């Protein structure tokens, strides 16, 4: 017998084609799951609902970037270093430890290893041969002189590396938002808990770029009196957006607004408000790139509170990182009301001298000189390929000019709502799973919201009378042509067909019966009430569309 709701949900998910273990005929592989026919559709609907919030309500744009990401990108973003743990094994205790976690504070990892200071916390054996564990999947691009790459651990970097182009696309106005829905990959040590912790997972991320001096949101005023459900690690509280920002509970309007958008999205997707809350990250659990982060947590009877969405203020961390490692301009411009005329001192390199002296380095030095702050009567040094080199004073001139400045440059800050689609999808299944007794028999149904249900309408002839079948097939075809996902079924009894639809979360069933032949009306049955309305055939499409519209 199934133990708990997780077992029951996963049982139903597998039996009905929502979720299968991947490669099962080869023994399966931990951390990988397939979405079956209904699961794929449910996921698509969930993603499209998400799009309606971010692309329509919030007017973001969507892009799509490769899942295979150059080493250099993830080196710059900090993932190569921060994602790596130096690990040692104790052969006696058969345990693995992070070196960082078992050495004393204030000692560097390198020193600790050199001086044999790495000891097993259990048996005090001196541990040797540390090795790096990186949670990213690595790969190579091309053969021969190949380039190192990783499967991306988040979709965000693709947006950051396109920033300068996207900023132009947004016609150089802030704030603007860019989203991406796609796969992310983390080579988890031991994934468990079904689709809660996958090695390949679906994420929906939005990066909204703000002027750091102005993290207000244009839509904030429309929603400022709405209530957020917060949890401060001790008690739950309800607070309006306006009050939360005023009192500093939430740092800025932008964060608060995206928290609200997240809350609305999840409620629309069928999350139970009582199984939902926002929790603020404490300082020591913040990711390496974040300065403030709120998680939307959803409650699972099996797993407790699950982190399903993270809404982080990443500040200018990522754009600065990529700018520093590539030299690409990732600034935005804050325009002055009136252009200013300012005196500017500039270094003008003399390439006639620089060239012969520095050869192939001359070009780089030229760029460095041009971007340098000018100080009078000081020697000029540049860092080139890790070396500090003096530039002789005859290689440049300092020129004073008047320049018109129309604004000041700054690196935008990023607010990032990041959604774990698979986790949300599991919680929707669990929270909408219901059992009732019908004639002493256990009766299962998924009370999925019509917006995301994989099948919207079951279409049945009451009996397999040819006249009814003919009409039913036409009704079914018309619904599908109108963009409504249907399931046509004439097998078994009518009760059995209703039951099949209830179990996969189909909100409505249209039945063609004997009265249809007389007055061209059909019954529309509601999944949750099992009540039936009669409607004219020509009104069905409009009627259903009304019920499933977001």
**List of residues contacting RNA (CB under 7 A):** 1-2, 7, 11, 14-15, 21, 27-31, 79, 82-83, 85, 94-98, 101, 135-136, 153-154, 186, 188-194, 197, 285-290, 302, 438-439, 441, 443-444, 462-465, 491-496, 498-500, 503, 511, 513, 523, 525, 530-532
Tell me whether residue 48 or residue 134 sits nearer to RNA (CB atom).
Answer: 134
Structure token pair of residue 155: 């979709």
Structure token pair of residue 472: 């039913």
Structure token pair of residue 360: 């192939």
Quick one: how far is CA 45 from the chain centroid? 16
Q: How far is CA 491 from CA 18, 44, 495, 514, 522, in A?
A: 22, 28, 11, 18, 19
Structure token pair of residue 48: 């499209």
Tell me whether residue 77 or residue 263 sits nearer to RNA (CB atom).
Answer: 77
Cα–Cα distance for residue pair 147/92, rounded to 1 Å: 39
Of all helices (H) and strands (E), which one includes residue 210?
A: strand 200-210
Tell me whether residue 373 or residue 441 sits nearer to RNA (CB atom).
Answer: 441
* CB 49, min distance to RNA, A: 25
Tell me whether residue 396 or residue 498 sits nearer to RNA (CB atom).
Answer: 498
Tell me whether residue 273 or residue 492 sits nearer to RNA (CB atom).
Answer: 492
Strands of 301-446 (E only): list them.
Answer: 304-315, 332-349, 380-384, 387-391, 396-410, 413-420, 433-438, 441-446
Contact of 54 with 419, CB cutoff 8 Å: no
Contact of 290 with 314, CB cutoff 8 Å: yes
Tell me whether residue 291 or residue 372 sits nearer to RNA (CB atom).
Answer: 291
* CB 97, min distance to RNA, A: 7
Tell me whether residue 366 or residue 423 sits nearer to RNA (CB atom).
Answer: 423
* CB 214, min distance to RNA, A: 27
Structure token pair of residue 296: 């939307």
Other Cβ atoms closer than 10 A to 475: 24
Write the CB contacts of 99 (distance below 8 Å, at least 6 apart in sequence): 85, 86, 87, 88, 109, 112, 113, 118, 130
Contact of 297 with 276, CB cutoff 8 Å: yes
| Burial state string for 93-114 with b = 16 or more CB within 10 A and e = fewer than 16 | eeeebebeebbeeeeeeeebbe
Cα–Cα distance for residue pair 485/456, rounded to 1 Å: 5
> In 3-state terms, what secondary structure has residue 155?
coil
| Radius of gyration of the chain, Cα coordinates, nearest whole angstrom | 30
Other Cβ atoms closer than 10 A to 140: 12
* CB 252, min distance to RNA, A: 20
Structure token pair of residue 546: 């009304």
* CB 94, min distance to RNA, A: 4
Contact of 536 with 515, CB cutoff 8 Å: no
Question: For residue 91, is the peptide bond before it cis, meaning its omega torsion is within 30 degrees of 0?
Answer: no
Q: How far is CA 510 from CA 236, 479, 484, 485, in A?
A: 43, 11, 13, 13
Other Cβ atoms closer than 10 A to 345: 12
* CB 98, min distance to RNA, A: 6
Give the bridge partners for 438, in sequence order.
441
Contact of 109 with 86, CB cutoff 8 Å: yes
Q: Name the residue among 205, 203, 215, 214 with its Cα closest to residue 159.
A: 205
Cα–Cα distance for residue pair 83/79, rounded to 1 Å: 5
């Amino acid at each position: 017998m199934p133990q708990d709701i997780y077992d029951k949900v996963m049982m139903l998910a597998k039996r009905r084609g929502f979720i299968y273990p991947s490669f099962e005929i080869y023994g399966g592989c931990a951390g990988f799951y397939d979405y079956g026919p209904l699961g794929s559709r449910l996921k698509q609907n969930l993603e499209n609902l998400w799009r309606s919030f971010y692309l329509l309500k919030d007017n973001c744009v969507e892009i799509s970037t490769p899942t295979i990401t150059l080493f250099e990108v993830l080196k710059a973003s900090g993932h190569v270093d921060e994602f790596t743990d130096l690990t040692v094994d104790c052969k006696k205790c058969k345990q693995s430890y992070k070196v960082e976690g078992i050495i004393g504070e204030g000692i560097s990892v390198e020193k600790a290893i050199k001086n044999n200071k790495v000891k097993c916390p259990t048996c005090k054996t001196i541990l040797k041969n540390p090795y790096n564990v990186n949670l990213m999947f690595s790969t190579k691009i091309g053969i021969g002189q190949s380039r190192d790459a990783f499967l991306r651990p988040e979709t965000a970097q693709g947006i950051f590396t396109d920033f300068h182009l996207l900023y132009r696309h947004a016609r150089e106005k802030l704030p603007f938002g860019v989203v991406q829905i796609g796969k992310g990959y983390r080579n988890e040590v031991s994934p468990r808990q079904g689709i809660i912790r996958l090695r390949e997972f679906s994420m929906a991320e939005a990066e909204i770029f703000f002027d750091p001096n102005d993290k207000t949101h244009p839509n904030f005023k429309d929603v400022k009196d709405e209530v957020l459900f917060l949890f401060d690690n001790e008690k739950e509280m309800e607070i309006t957006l306006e009050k939360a920002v005023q009192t500093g509970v939430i740092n800025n309007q932008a964060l608060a607004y995206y928290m609200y958008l997240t809350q609305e999205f999840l409620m629309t997707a069928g999350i139970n408000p009582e199984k939902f809350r926002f929790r603020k990250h404490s300082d020591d659990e913040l990711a390496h790139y974040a300065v403030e982060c709120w998680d939307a947590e959803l409650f699972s009877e099996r797993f407790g509170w699950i982190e399903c969405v993270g809404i982080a203020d990443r500040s200018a961390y990522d754009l600065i990182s990529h700018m520093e490692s590539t030299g690409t301009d990732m600034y935005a411009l804050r325009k002055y009301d009136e252009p200013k005329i300012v005196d500017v001192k500039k270094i003008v390199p003399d390439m006639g001298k620089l060239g012969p002296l520095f050869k192939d380095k001359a070009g780089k030095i030229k760029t460095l000189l041009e971007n340098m702050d000018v100080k009078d009567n000081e020697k000029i040094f540049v860092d080139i390929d890790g070396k500090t080199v003096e530039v002789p004073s005859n290689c440049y001139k300092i020129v004073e000019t008047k320049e018109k400045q129309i604004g000041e440059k700054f690196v935008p800050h990023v607010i990032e709502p990041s959604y774990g689609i698979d986790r949300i999808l599991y919680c929707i299944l669990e929270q909408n799973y219901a059992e009732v007794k019908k004639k002493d028999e256990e009766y299962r149904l998924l009370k999925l919201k019509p917006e995301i249900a994989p099948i919207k309408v079951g279409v049945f002839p009451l009996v397999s009378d040819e006249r009814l079948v003919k009409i039913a097939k036409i009704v079914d075809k018309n619904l599908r042509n109108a963009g409504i996902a249907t399931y046509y079924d004439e097998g078994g009894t009518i009760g059995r067909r209703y039951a099949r639809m209830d179990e996969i979360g189909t909100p409505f069933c249209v039945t063609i019966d004997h009265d249809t032949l007389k007055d061209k009306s059909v019954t529309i049955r509601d999944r949750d009430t099992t009540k039936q309305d009669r409607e004219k055939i020509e009104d069905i499409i409009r009627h259903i569309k009304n019920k499933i519209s977001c």
